[in-house]
Amino acid sequence: RILIALRRAPEGIRQCNLALRAAPGFVQALLCRAECNKALRRMPETQADLRRALKLDKKAERASRMLLSILMDCAEYFAAEDLIEATWKPGKRPLAVDMHRAKILAETQRTKEALEAYTEIVDTHPDADVSFELGDLNQSLGNFDAAQEHFDAAISAHPDRGDIFRLYLTSKKIELDDPLVAHMQSKFEDPKVDPSSRAHFAFALGKVHEDHKAYDAVFDYIHPANALKKSTESYTFTRR
C-alpha cells in the first residue's frame, strides 16, 4: 500500500511476484498484487489474483470485498450478484454489500425488488443515505408522491448534486420563479461545483425552460451542458 501511495505500483508487483515464487499460496501477496494491478487499472489481472486468493481462502473478506467492488465498477452485475450469494448470508451482510445488492437489482431492471431491498436497508440502517435511489425507483414505478418525498430529502442532503435535480425534474414541472430554479442557476454558474454536476444542473434548467416553451433559453443551457459533459469525459479518459 505504501508503494501504491508513492505511485510505485509496478515495483510492488515485482515484490509480490518474488514472494509468490517462494510461496505460491501466500494469500497476502496475492491481495497486495491485486491492489497494485488495480492501481494500474489492470482489471483482468486484478480479478485473477482475487479469485485465486478466494480459492485458497474462501473466508478472505478483503478479497471478497475488493472483487465485489471491481465487478460493480465494471458493471458485471450478475457476477457480482453470484459473489454476494456465495459469500454472505442474508441478514448477515455488511451495509456496503447490501447497498451493492440493491444497486444490482436496480441496474438489472428488477425495480420492485430493488425498492424492497433499499427499504429493508432503511429499516435496518435508518441513517443510510438512499433517498436518491428510493426517489428514482418510486418515480419509475409511478409512485410520484413517495418519489417527491425521497427526492426532497436527497436534495436537502446533497444540494450540490445536479444529477438528483435533473432526475427529479424529468417527471415534474416547476415554475420559473420556483426557488429550485434559482438554486440550480447558482450551482450551474459556480466554478467550484464539480463540472459533471454543473452539466446536470444545466440540463435540468434546460428542461424547466422547455416545459414553459422558452426555447431560446433552452439552448443557453444545453450547449454549455454538453461542453461540460464532454470535458468530464475527456478528463476521465486521460486519467485512465
- Per the CB < 8 A criterion, the answer to whether 35 and 63 are in contact is no
Task: For Cα atoms 81, 84, 90, give the angle at the middle one, nearest 5 degrees.
Answer: 115
**Residue 105 DSSP label:** H
pLDDT band at 4 (very low <50, low <70, confident <90, very high): very low
Counting Cα atoms < 13 Å in the Cβ hemisphere of 104 gives 21
- Per the CB < 8 A criterion, the answer to whether 34 and 54 are in contact is no
What's the pLDDT score for residue 2?
A: 43
Task: For Cα atoms 165, 167, 168, give the angle at the middle one, nearest 5 degrees.
Answer: 60
CA–CA separation, 56 vs 50, rounded Å?
10
What's the pLDDT score for residue 198?
A: 97
Q: Is the pLDDT of residue 1 over 80?
A: no
Nearest Cα to Cα of residue 84 among 93, 75, 76:
93
Q: Give the CA diameter of the chain.
A: 71
Whole-prediction pTM: 0.80
Q: Look over the chain and give the mean of its residue pLDDT values, rounded to a whole number.
A: 91
pLDDT digits (tens, 9 = 90+) for 83-125: 999 999 988 899 999 999 999 999 999 999 999 999 999 999 9
CA–CA separation, 99 vs 114, rounded Å?
10
What's the pLDDT score for residue 8?
A: 72
Task: For Cα atoms 25, 30, 31, give the angle at the middle one, nearest 5 degrees.
Answer: 130
How many helices (H) and strands (E) in the chain? 14, 0
Least confident of 7-11, 25-29, 45-49, 151-155: 7-11
